[in-house]
């Protein structure tokens, strides 16, 4: 069987799972540890799905979900190929660094499609894009709240009427988390795009799914993310609709979340003005009304520097739970219907 692209993986044998240690190209990455990659090549042909965790190296349920998929997916029951990379951003994983790569302090999820002559993170993303994502028929990027972040599980895809965006939204709906967010523009001004938008821009249907957070390894979040990938595989025709019982973890928690997701169409991020102590009045998952007081920022004498007001009506999808905030520090993201 010839799987198009993926020259770094060598020959993939139908009906087998294979382990690879892959050196990513790019002169900034020359001294790097190789990345662990697991390929699950179905006995029957079908689409190629690429899944990674660890674009942010301290989002542990996402990383564990990719590791676990490599152990539970059975090539005998799969049509097509699943390519799994548990951790892209290894420097952040090794150093427990949130949000960015410690080598260049760049958030890799803001520089897609990357740059082969850019900084470390830009070269790393360029390698991911050109060696993996662009050769796949579909792409899933797994995330969660980072070390200072709590969140409710949600999936993001790029909004649009084109075929790639519609396929992406179908994947997002199939994943089975409580919220699906389709967004038409980047949520932060940055050099590049986020993973799902960068992939869609290159013609590859893609989603970003978030589960768990606060630097911990929540088992229910791992199961949600594993089950979500399996559901997308069924939707893509890579697995029989009633198959994969061994792969799908049937726990009460995970089962409860297989409901029609609530679709949100805008993502409003809230920032502090001042540096100081952040006292949130709300939790992840709370529904807010525009104008509602959602917290305060105080100084180290205990005086209030600012009162934070909800700029929109919507649902708190992620929340900074560590009290220390910088000036213009990110406090929360609100999903809007
Ligand atoms: Zn992330």
Place of tokens 């980072």: 146
Give the model's pLDDT for residue 251.
47
**DSSP-derived pairing of the beta strands 154-158 and 179-183:** parallel
Cα(16) to ligand 1 centroid in Å equals 30
pLDDT tens-digit profile, the chain (337 residues): 445 678 899 999 999 999 999 999 999 999 999 999 999 999 999 999 999 999 999 999 999 999 999 999 999 999 999 999 999 999 999 999 999 999 999 999 999 999 999 999 999 999 999 999 999 999 999 999 999 999 999 999 999 999 999 999 999 999 999 999 999 877 777 889 999 999 999 999 999 999 999 999 999 999 999 999 999 999 999 999 876 555 555 444 444 446 789 999 999 999 999 999 999 999 999 999 999 999 999 999 999 999 999 999 999 999 999 999 999 999 999 999 9
Structure tokens that stand for 114 in this block: 């990357």
Taking residue 96's Cβ as centre, other Cβ atoms within 10 Å add up to 12
319 alpha carbon to ligand 1 midpoint, in Å? Answer: 13
Q: What is the pLDDT of residue 258?
A: 60
Which among 26, 101, 21, 22 is positioned nearest to 56, based on CA atoms? Answer: 101
- Taking CB atoms within 8 Å and a gap of at least 24, the contacts of 253-257 are 253/220, 253/223, 253/224, 254/220, 254/223, 254/224, 254/227, 257/153, 257/176, 257/177, 257/178, 257/224
Whole-prediction pTM value?
0.94
Tell me the CA–centroid distance for residue 25 and ligand 1, in Å: 23
How many angstroms is it from 14 CA to the middle of ligand 1? 32
How far apart are the CA of 146 and the centre of ligand 1, in A? 6
Per-residue confidence (pLDDT) for residue 191, from 0 to 100: 85
Spacing, Cα 15 to ligand 1 middle (Å): 32
Rounded to the nearest angstrom, the distance between the alpha carbon of 211 and the centre of ligand 1 is 10
| 229 neighbors 182 (Cβ within 8 angstroms) | no
Pair type for strands 314-320 and 149-151: antiparallel
CA of 236 to the centre of ligand 1 (A): 24
- Residue 241 confidence (pLDDT): 84
pLDDT of residue 247: 55
For ligand 1, the distance from its centroid to the CA atom of residue 41, given in whole angstroms, is 27
- In angstroms, what is the span from residue 17 Cα to ligand 1's centroid? 27
Q: Tell me, in angstroms, the distance from the centre of ligand 1 to residue 199's CA.
A: 16
Task: Return all residues near 59 (Cβ < 8 A) that are at least 6 apart.
Answer: 53, 142, 143, 144, 145, 146, 212, 213
- Tell me what pLDDT residue 1 has: 43
Query: Under a CB-based contact definition with an 8 Å cutoff, are residues 156 and 172 in contact?
Result: yes
Identify the pLDDT of residue 4.
61
**How far is the centre of ligand 1, averaged over its atoms, from the C-alpha of 304 (Å)?**
31
Q: How far apart, in whole angstroms, are the C-alpha atoms of residue 306 and residue 303?
A: 9
Cα gap 318→219, rounded to integer Å: 19
Query: What is residue 47's three-state secondary structure?
Result: strand
CA of 98 to the centre of ligand 1 (A): 9
């Amino acid at each position: 069987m010839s799987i198009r692209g993926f020259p770094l993986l060598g020959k993939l044998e139908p009906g087998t799972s294979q382990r690879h240690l892959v050196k990513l190209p790019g002169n900034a990455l020359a001294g790097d540890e190789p990345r662990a990659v697991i390929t699950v090549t179905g006995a029957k042909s079908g689409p190629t799905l690429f899944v990674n965790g660890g674009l942010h190296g301290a989002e542990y349920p996402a990383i564990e979900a990719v590791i676990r998929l490599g152990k539970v997916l059975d090539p005998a029951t799969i049509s097509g190929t699943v390519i799994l990379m548990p951790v892209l951003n290894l420097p952040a994983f090794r150093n427990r660094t949130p949000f960015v790569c410690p080598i260049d302090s760049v958030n890799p999820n803001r520089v897609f499609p990357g740059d082969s002559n850019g900084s470390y993170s830009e070269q790393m993303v360029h390698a991911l894009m050109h060696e993996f994502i662009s050769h796949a028929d579909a792409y899933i990027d797994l995330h969660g709240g980072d070390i200072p972040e709590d969140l409710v599980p949600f999936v993001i895809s790029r909004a649009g009427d084109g075929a790639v965006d519609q396929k992406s939204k179908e994947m997002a709906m199939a994943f089975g988390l409580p919220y699906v967010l389709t967004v038409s523009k980047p949520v932060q001004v940055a050099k590049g795009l986020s993973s799902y938008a960068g992939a869609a821009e290159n013609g590859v249907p893609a989603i970003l799914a978030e589960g768990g957070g606060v630097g911990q390894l929540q088992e229910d979040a791992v199961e949600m993310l594993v089950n979500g990938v399996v559901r997308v595989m069924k939707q893509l025709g890579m697995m029989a609709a009633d198959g994969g019982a061994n792969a799908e973890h049937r726990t009460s928690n995970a089962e409860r979340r297989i409901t029609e997701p609530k679709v949100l169409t805008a993502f409003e991020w809230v920032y502090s003005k001042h540096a100081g102590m952040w006292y949130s009045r709300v939790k992840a998952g709370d529904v807010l009304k525009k104008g509602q007081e959602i917290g305060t920022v105080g100084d180290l004498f205990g005086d209030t520097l600012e009162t934070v007001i909800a700029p929109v009506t919507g649902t708190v999808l992620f929340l900074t739970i560590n009290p220390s905030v910088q000036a213009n520090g990110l406090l929360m993201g609100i999903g809007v219907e």
